[in-house]
Amino acid sequence: MPQFNWDTCSLPPSPPSPCYGHLMSFIERNFLTQMVQEPTRGSSVLDLILCNKAHDVVKVDLSDNKLSDHKTVHLTLGFNPLTPIRYHCVDLDKNSFRGINYFKGDMERIRHDLNLVDWMGLKKLCDESSDNSLDDFAKLITLTVLQITVIYSPAKEPVKKAKKANREVISLKFKKEKSTDCDSALIPLLR
């Protein structure tokens, strides 16, 4: 898709194929970032690296390739994907949207209470009280929905989050596994 503008992440004025729109909606729907910013073939960016955590990509380099007319893309990550993941618990604020267990919430009661709210009255109140009425109204909607949802939904259990493993612990585990393998291999020989 050489006509895609990656600088602004936008479609060409008249896309030659519906694939452009499908790719754009996929990128937006999954909150992806295109990491390759330089042309990889001629003046076009054809080789893509799409990721949802741009901060994990430390560096993207391009180099000429003797086997192809495309440049080779080199990616440097800020972590080792082969390192085992250890977990620790993350405390969630029970009065935030992230801390609510929606699967166990009473959706009928939430829906009922949301239908009782005078939304037009709240909008009118925001219009009269400030110049940023739309921003204030959006914040008021968020707070109202959160207050009602917290009443009828339990808090989530603490979530386990990945924690980087210590290199020394990994090497000790590896040495221990290696030594037990050797010991078990020697036992039949000693008998």
pLDDT digits (tens, 9 = 90+) for 69-106: 888 888 888 877 777 666 555 566 666 777 788 788 88
Mapping DSSP onto H, E and C, the string for 100-123 reads: ECHHHCCHHHHHHHHHHCCHHHHH
Query: Residue 139: pLDDT above 70?
Result: yes
Half-sphere exposure of 22 (CA within 13 A, CB side): 5
pTM exceeding 0.75:
no
Give, in order, the Cα–Cα distances in Å from 180 to each of 167, 175, 186: 20, 9, 10
Asked whether 73 and 79 are in contact (CB, 8 A), the reply is no
**Other CB atoms within 10 Å distance of the CB of residue 21:** 11
SS3 (DSSP) at 29? helix
Average pLDDT score over residue span 140-159: 81
The closest of 29, 27, 21, 28 to 3, measured between CA atoms, is 21
- 3-class DSSP assignment, residue 182: helix
Question: Is the Cβ–Cβ distance between 41 and 70 less than 8 Å?
Answer: yes
Tell me the pLDDT tens digit for each residue of 112-128: 999 999 989 888 888 88
CB 180 within 8 A of CB 145: no
